[in-house]
Amino acid sequence: LEGCTSLEELPKDMKRMKSFILLNMRGCTSLQFLPHMNLISMKTLILTNCSSLEKFRVISDNLETLHLDGTAIGQLPTNMVKLQRLIVLNLKDCKKLRAVPKCLGKLKALQELMLSGCSKLKIFPIPIENMKC
């Protein structure tokens, strides 16, 4: 779906497609939200430069790589604590992101958290042991 600039939302029957491993929606600039679903096989979700996306919803508890860079999200959901396999979280250039939730400190697999360009970020309350500098 990369580059589908007129895509505003994902098809509702996508939740039946349990075998997705990677979903790349880079550059879907009109995408406004993600529907409630649990794509159990998904390991990688790329929402890079989905500039109309203001809220992120966890759509797979098994994510290992999550790219939210260049989105309009202002905060991350507290249910991100369910992402216990998450290794990479890219939040670069999330210009409206105000805080990193405490729950990210409970993600034991998280090794890489990218926050450059998050100009409104005020709160970073967590020490994360496994991360690379």
Structural domain range at position 63:
1-133
Look at 36 and 43; give whichever has higher pLDDT.
43
127 CB-contact burial (10 Å; exposed 0-12 / middle 13-18 / buried 19+): exposed
DSSP class of 79: G
Which CATH number characterizes residue 35's domain?
3.80.10.10
CA atoms of 21 and 104, how far apart (whole Å): 23
pTM of the model: 0.90
pLDDT at 1 over 60: yes
Residues 61-88 pLDDT 10s: 999 999 999 999 999 998 999 999 999 9
Query: How many domains are contained in the chain?
Result: 1
Best CA proximity match to 92, nearest among 58, 56, 68, 66? 68
Average pLDDT taken over every residue of the chain: 89
pLDDT of residue 128: 59
